[in-house]
């Protein structure tokens, strides 16, 4: 189905654009609740995964916006417990990923998720810079973005002393290829309707 319009000539619902982009259909969910029962973060979420599925099924724009503004989609760890437990084999982790990218694209990121987003961005920047995760770069990038300058400051010297943190980055051979992949993924996202 086109992302521009569905068969009725209307703007596609969030569930329709999700299906068009990921081939995951939330219509298959019959609300058994097994995903929410197993989700390690369900207790912290504003809407547990099964409720997110139900809200998407309704196609109600107000509920769709609530989903995109939710903290749940950012708390999701992509641990796959929900998808493993789902009797309908719905890839809920992919649903959460899509919702995160849509929330970002539409500027609807929950304000409580700002630090989580800062971590995601610092992680990608670090991998783009060296081709692999550079922990010190990740920490510095996260602190600069989140302004959590003093958080865990006393832990760093201990970790350096124990050799858990390397002050110098290890740049891999194919670094430029990794950077191009990240750059291209960013462009694809920006060009998305």
Q: By CB under 6 A, what part of segment 126-145 binds ligand SF4?
A: none
DSSP state of 28: G
Q: How far is the CB of 90 from ligand SF4 (least distance, A)?
A: 5
Determine, following the binding rule CB under 6 A, whether residue 92 of this chain makes contact with ligand SF4: yes
Specify the 3-state DSSP secondary structure of 177: helix
- Least distance to ligand SF4 from the beta carbon of 55, Å? 12
Structure tokens at 33: 């609740």
Site for ligand SF4 in 15-54 (CB under 6 A): 29-35, 38-41, 49-50, 53
Cβ(175)–Cβ(131) under 8 Å?
yes
Instruction: Return the CA Rg of the chain.
Output: 19
Residue 90 lies near ligand SF4 (rule: CB under 6 A):
yes
Residue of 18, 67, 96, 127 interacting with ligand SF4 (CB under 6 A) = 96
SS3 104: helix
Minimum distance from residue 60 beta carbon to ligand SF4 (Å): 18
- Nearest-CA neighbor of 81 among 54, 55, 57, 49? 49
Distance CA 99, CA 88 (A): 20
Q: How many residues bind ligand SF4 (CB under 6 A)?
A: 29
Residues of this chain that interact with ligand SF4 (CB under 6 A) are 29-35, 38-41, 49-50, 53, 76-82, 85-88, 90, 92-93, 96
């Amino acid at each position: 189905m086109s992302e521009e319009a569905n068969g009725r000539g209307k703007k596609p619902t969030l569930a329709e654009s999700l299906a068009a982009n990921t081939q995951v259909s939330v219509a298959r969910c019959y609300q058994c609740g097994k995903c929410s029962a197993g989700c390690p973060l369900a207790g912290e979420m504003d809407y547990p995964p099964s409720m997110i599925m139900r809200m998407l099924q309704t196609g109600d724009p107000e509920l769709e916006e609530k989903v995109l503004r939710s903290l749940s989609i950012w708390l999701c760890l992509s641990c796959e417990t929900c998808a493993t437990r789902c009797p309908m084999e719905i890839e809920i982790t992919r649903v959460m990923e899509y919702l995160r990218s849509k929330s970002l694209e539409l500027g609807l990121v929950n304000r409580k998720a700002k630090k989580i987003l800062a971590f995601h961005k610092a992680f990608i920047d670090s991998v783009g810079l060296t081709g692999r995760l550079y922990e010190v770069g990740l920490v510095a990038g996260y602190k600069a973005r989140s302004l959590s300058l003093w958080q865990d400051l006393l832990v760093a010297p201990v970790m350096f002393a124990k050799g858990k943190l390397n002050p110098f980055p290890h740049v891999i051979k194919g670094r430029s290829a990794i950077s191009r992949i990240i750059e291209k993924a960013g462009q694809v996202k920006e060009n998305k309707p």
